[in-house]
Chain A
Amino acid sequence: MRVGPDIDPALWRGLTARRVSRRDLFKAAGVTAGAMGLSAILDACGVAGSQASKSPSATGVGSQSWWDQQKKTTQLDFANWPLYIDPSILKTFTKQTGINVTYQTVINDNDPFLAKIIPALQNGQGTGYDLCVNTNGGPMDRLIALGFVIPLDHRKIPNFFKYADPNVKSPTYDPGNKYTVTWQSGFTAIGYNSKEVKNPPKTFNELLNSPYKGKVGMFGNNQDLPCPALVAAGYDVQTSTPDQWKKAAEPVMRARDNGTIRAFYDQSYIDSLENGDILVTQAWSGDIFIAAAPKSIGGDGYPEMRLNLPTEGSIYWHDNMWIPLHAQNPVSSMMMMNFVYDPPIAARNADFIWYVSPVPSAKDIVLNDLKDPSVANSPLVFPTAADIAKTQGYRVWKDQAEEEEWNSIWEPVYSS
């Protein structure tokens, strides 16, 4: 190729034209500088963790001296689940202590409630509540680990130490009851419609292999589904390994994929059971009690609803009272905690709520004073030690990494 006058001038122009103008260079420089500056800002960005330095143990909140400084007030902001208290005991409480109770049934499920309060607590603000009730195994564990729970003053709850059932004292998720005392407990078991179901399932595996395809309900959270599955597979919930988790998850996924399981529910399963959308389901003991009770005494009026405790053992969980950080009336909270462990009060609660009462001596009061043998003699409200012996609790993870591994195996089961 010769350079010379033979070359087409247009081609020559094209070959030699400046590709990048000075303006383009400035633009590029500006963009790069901007990007570098932006990335410097972004590097500095991050979301602060809930540092250990802010937790109660570090700041002294909840210590004996801190409690000594707290004064009694005339107000209590109590957040709880719906239908989880005998409303008359609130009036009794106010009469006895002079404390006005603002009772809000804002907790429909653990996770959405935590989703609301954790961001506020992370910002160092109060939740607006003095006393909340949340379940162990995940919600309670997380709150304690994040340092959002005020340690209790044991001097203020003598009734707890006198009357509480030994199995709620110093549970694995809260040794020494440093942060919580149990409100009510319950079983995760099997519920069914006895009118439609001729051979009710007696084990978790029978639930998975139910002939009622598309009419089986399961829980869609990371404790109520995995733990019964592990028990049914013959493993110990607390000591099981990730391999065992995977093995236990397999039959559940099979049942899901072949259409047996209709859906993975939150606590709205009871609605679907009553509507007839599902015929057999995992269930919480008290829900079935309420569903079967007549409307006149506060139930839903579906007497065909029954509960079976799985023969391999059910899961026994606890809903716990706890005091959030920055609560305005912590002394009122402690007084309420003490109040509900008084046996006559516990008896009234047991007779209304129909979940497992943490006060065994309330049984006689329910039987003799409140004259309600159906509640007093029910193993679902006052279980014997033998009943409890067969149960297992929710999993307690030893650290964040273990929890994440557990979730990575179980979440795809119920959210796919």
Chain B
Amino acid sequence: MEQHLGTGVQLVEHRRLKLRRRLAPYFLSAPGSLWLLLFFLLPLVFMASVSLQTGNLLQGFRMTWHFANYSDALSLYHVQFVRSLIYGSIATGITLVVSYPLAYWIAFHGGRYKNTLLLLILLPFFVTFVIRTLAWEFILSDQGIVLGTLKHWHLLPQNYHVLATSTAVIAGIAYNYLPFMALPLYVALEKIDRTVVEAARDLYSSNRAVFSHVILPLSLPGVFAGLLLTFVPAVGDYVNAAILGGTNNVMIGNIIQLKYLQDFDYPLASALSFILMAALLIGIFIYARALGTRQIEEYV
């Protein structure tokens, strides 16, 4: 396009256009990236700094390079860390198993009702997260609608309870984060070229083989995105544990919230947050490597 450079004036014009073209991406991405720099990266730096401080609310906090905050955090709360990873993994696994057939059915057999069905799935999640979880507490109450009726008909022992167990917490997390798994799965499945599937049907004899050799591998980017968008928030969640949990169900999110907002123990809380983030990032990178992805950003 720019081959014919022309006279001097046209040359300057051309150079100015080229310069504008070169600077355009920087101007376009500036607002977004600056915002993230200021309010995402910079806070992480400050949180790192706070995590190495000592002090309290009364006397103030001072930077003392107190790395012991990290070892203290781990020794005091490793149980809650591990528990959160376990709850998060199980809940994510449940959402994957539940969502996959659902997403598959909508993507391949939804026809013109695809969007309607998607909306139907998303509709419950319009209502506030807190209200949804409170509704589950209401439903699963010991003498409530479900358990009360079952106990009345003697189908359950009288002191059976679902609330205040890890089951309730994991079920709550799985319920609340289901769309974060279902949507990426659907997007990936929907994108699969139908002619490829047809070709596979011609090549393979059984539908199971078609699924496991063609559809499943092609949907893996969706699986990865879904796992990422579900596992990470699930591990850091504390609302489900607070509403549906009992003793020995406390997650690391509850501890971080307690330390920040009730005890005002900023250094320990910051150290806990950093450990959580580091653990999750390492897990993501290992998983990405295992999947063989080179640029994980592509899947987001």
CB contact between B143 and one of A43, A50, A122, A276 (< 8 Å): that residue: A276
A48 touches B262 (CB 8 A): no
* A146 contacts B by Cβ under 8 Å: yes
CB distance from B196 to the nearest CB of A (A): 46
CB distance from B293 to the nearest CB of A (A): 28
A262 touches B261 (CB 8 A): no
A262 touches B247 (CB 8 A): yes
CA distance A350 to B236 in the complex (A): 44
* A163 contacts B by Cβ under 8 Å: no
A46 touches B55 (CB 8 A): yes
B63 touches A111 (CB 8 A): no
| Chain A contacts for B61, CB-based, 8 A | 46-47, 49
CB contact between B60 and one of A49, A111, A142, A262 (< 8 Å): that residue: A49
Residue-wise interface mask of B (130-144) relative to A, using a CB-CB cutoff of 8 A (1 in contact, 0 not) = 000000000001111
A260-278 at interface with B (beta carbon < 8 Å): 261-264, 275-277
| Chain B contacts for A212, CB-based, 8 A | 159
B79 touches A416 (CB 8 A): yes
| Chain A contacts for B258, CB-based, 8 A | 411, 415
A45 touches B46 (CB 8 A): yes
* A112 contacts B by Cβ under 8 Å: yes
**Known contacts A118-B264, A213-B159; A263 and B164 CB within 8 A of each other:** yes
**Known contacts A42-B49, A263-B246, A415-B258; A48 and B60 CB within 8 A of each other:** yes
A146 touches B164 (CB 8 A): no
Residue-wise interface mask of A (44-76) relative to B, using a CB-CB cutoff of 8 A (1 in contact, 0 not) = 111111110000000000000000000000000
CB contact between B57 and one of A38, A43, A50, A263 (< 8 Å): that residue: A50
B164 touches A277 (CB 8 A): yes
B142 touches A276 (CB 8 A): yes
| Chain A contacts for B161, CB-based, 8 A | 214-215, 262, 277
B55 touches A47 (CB 8 A): yes
B104-147 at interface with A (beta carbon < 8 Å): 141-144
* A145 contacts B by Cβ under 8 Å: yes
* A296 contacts B by Cβ under 8 Å: no
CB distance from A261 to the nearest CB of B (A): 5
* B13 contacts A by Cβ under 8 Å: no
A77-125 at interface with B (beta carbon < 8 Å): 111-112, 114-115, 118, 122
Chain A residue nearest in CB terms to B264: A118
CB distance from B152 to the nearest CB of A (A): 12
B159 touches A214 (CB 8 A): yes
| Chain A contacts for B254, CB-based, 8 A | 415
* A256 contacts B by Cβ under 8 Å: yes
| Chain A contacts for B164, CB-based, 8 A | 214, 262-263, 277
B57 touches A49 (CB 8 A): yes
CB contact between A115 and one of B79, B141, B262 (< 8 Å): that residue: B262
A263 touches B245 (CB 8 A): yes
* A400 contacts B by Cβ under 8 Å: yes
Q: How many residues of B contact A (CB 8 A)?
A: 39
A262 touches B49 (CB 8 A): no
* A407 contacts B by Cβ under 8 Å: yes
B215-264 at interface with A (beta carbon < 8 Å): 245-248, 250, 254-255, 258, 261-264
A277 touches B163 (CB 8 A): yes
CA distance A404 to B263 in the complex (A): 10
Residue-wise interface mask of B (17-57) relative to A, using a CB-CB cutoff of 8 A (1 in contact, 0 not) = 00000000000000000000000000001100110110111
CA distance A277 to B52 in the complex (A): 43
Chain B residue nearest in CB terms to A43: B63
**Known contacts A264-B247, A416-B79; A146 and B57 CB within 8 A of each other:** yes
B250-280 at interface with A (beta carbon < 8 Å): 250, 254-255, 258, 261-264, 266
**Known contacts A46-B53, A275-B144; A111 and B245 CB within 8 A of each other:** no
**Known contacts A214-B164, A415-B258, A416-B248; A47 and B143 CB within 8 A of each other:** no
CB distance from A10 to the nearest CB of B (A): 29
CA distance A48 to B144 in the complex (A): 50
CB contact between B62 and one of A46, A111, A145, A263 (< 8 Å): that residue: A46
CB contact between A275 and one of B57, B76, B79, B141 (< 8 Å): that residue: B141
* B167 contacts A by Cβ under 8 Å: no
| Chain A contacts for B52, CB-based, 8 A | 42
Residue-wise interface mask of B (143-184) relative to A, using a CB-CB cutoff of 8 A (1 in contact, 0 not) = 110000000000000010101100000000000000000000
Chain B residue nearest in CB terms to A407: B263
| Chain B contacts for A415, CB-based, 8 A | 250, 254-255, 258
A47 touches B266 (CB 8 A): yes
B247 touches A118 (CB 8 A): no
CA distance A160 to B161 in the complex (A): 49
CB distance from A121 to the nearest CB of B (A): 11
* B58 contacts A by Cβ under 8 Å: yes
Q: Which of A46, A118, A276 has the most CB of B within 10 A?
A: A46
CB distance from A36 to the nearest CB of B (A): 13
| Chain A contacts for B62, CB-based, 8 A | 46
Residue-wise interface mask of A (25-46) relative to B, using a CB-CB cutoff of 8 A (1 in contact, 0 not) = 0000000000000100011111
* B295 contacts A by Cβ under 8 Å: no
* B59 contacts A by Cβ under 8 Å: yes
B262 touches A47 (CB 8 A): no
CA distance A51 to B60 in the complex (A): 8
Residue-wise interface mask of A (199-235) relative to B, using a CB-CB cutoff of 8 A (1 in contact, 0 not) = 0000000000000111100000000000000000000
| Chain B contacts for A118, CB-based, 8 A | 57, 264
Q: Which of B53, B144, B262 has the most CB of A within 10 A?
A: B262
CB distance from B268 to the nearest CB of A (A): 11
Chain A residue nearest in CB terms to B49: A42
CA distance A275 to B79 in the complex (A): 31
Listed A/B pairs (11) with beta-carbon separation below 8 Å: A42-B52, A45-B49, A49-B55, A49-B56, A112-B262, A213-B159, A275-B143, A277-B164, A415-B250, A415-B255, A416-B248
Q: Which chain B residues have a beta carbon within 8 Å of chain A's beta carbons?
A: 45-46, 49-50, 52-53, 55-63, 76, 79-80, 141-144, 159, 161, 163-164, 245-248, 250, 254-255, 258, 261-264, 266
Given contacts A45-B50, A275-B142, 10 further A-B contacts (CB under 8 A): A42-B49, A47-B53, A47-B266, A49-B61, A114-B262, A146-B57, A256-B247, A256-B248, A276-B141, A277-B143
Sort A-B residue pairs by CB-CB distance and give the 7 closest, nearest first.
A49-B60, A276-B143, A263-B246, A47-B61, A42-B49, A115-B261, A49-B59
